[in-house]
Amino acid sequence: MKQTIAYTIDDRRYLSITDRCTLACEFCPKTQGTMNVHEYDLTFDHRPETEEIITAIGNVSDFSWIVFCGFGEPTLRLKTLLEVATHIKQQGGRVRLNTDGLANRVHKRNVLPEMAGCIDALSVSLNAQNESIYNRHCVPALKNSWQSMLDFLQLAPAYVADVTATAINGLEGVDITACRQLAEERGVKFRQREMDLVG
């Protein structure tokens, strides 16, 4: 079966460019052994290069948003991500990046200036109001990930106009009100997500 690189939900086109993660979230279907989102199987057999992703998108103007999402952290393929995002902007599309907010931690520099101009919106998984709840649910590979994610959120509005932090309602110990407050203190929007809903 051909690997799903791009898939459509409503009028949004989603891009799955990696299967690697910096987290191993216990609520993630991937962690639980399934690679399905809606009717799409996101199982990987290779990591697609820029041209293959661009071809898979199709006509940018057919979609309200092109969203980097999937069962992997798109910023782990930063160069490819930025090349594809730049192409989408050149075609007049709008780009959203769904991310764990750990790109600066992973790449050991502030990558937000590289995102400015080719990413219109960031959706950052805040996920928990403190480090211990975050570590319990998200199982980060890198130390200080929760604080790094918050630092990223703090910096992001200077580079990307539309920044939203998210947390999942119903996860044990997660205080949605406190998560919202952390987001608002950093000048970003907050969105409460529900379990098992992607997008």
Binding residues for ligand SF4, per CB under 6 A? 21, 23-25, 28, 30-31, 71-73, 100
**Nearest to ligand SF4 by Cβ — which residue?**
28
Give whichever of 31 and 50 is closer to ligand SF4, judged by the CB atom: 31
In the complex, least distance from residue 98 CB atom to ligand SF4, rounded to whole angstroms: 8
**Nearest C-alpha neighbor of 82 from the set 115, 45, 49:** 115
Give whichever of 22 and 129 is closer to ligand SF4, judged by the CB atom: 22
In the complex, least distance from residue 178 CB atom to ligand SF4, rounded to whole angstroms: 20
Tell me 64's DSSP state.
S
Cβ neighbours for 67, distance < 8 A, ≥ 6 positions apart: 12, 13, 14, 15, 95, 96, 97, 98, 199
In the complex, least distance from residue 24 CB atom to ligand SF4, rounded to whole angstroms: 5
Give Cα separations from 101 to 78, 163, 196 (angstroms).
Answer: 13, 11, 20
Give Cα separations from 85 to 32, 80, 117, 119 (angstroms).
Answer: 30, 8, 9, 7
Structure-token pair, residue 118: 């080719």
In the complex, least distance from residue 91 CB atom to ligand SF4, rounded to whole angstroms: 27
Give whichever of 24 and 158 is closer to ligand SF4, judged by the CB atom: 24
In the complex, least distance from residue 15 CB atom to ligand SF4, rounded to whole angstroms: 13
In the complex, least distance from residue 40 CB atom to ligand SF4, rounded to whole angstroms: 14
Residue 134, classified by CB atoms within 10 Å of its CB into exposed (0-12), middle (13-18) or buried (19+), is buried
Do the beta carbons of residue 69 and residue 122 sit within 8 Å?
no
Give whichever of 73 and 114 is closer to ligand SF4, judged by the CB atom: 73
Give whichever of 15 and 60 is closer to ligand SF4, judged by the CB atom: 15
Give Cα separations from 154 to 157, 174, 192 (angstroms).
Answer: 7, 21, 19
* Rounded Cα distance, 156 and 51, in Å: 28
Give whichever of 60 and 171 is closer to ligand SF4, judged by the CB atom: 171
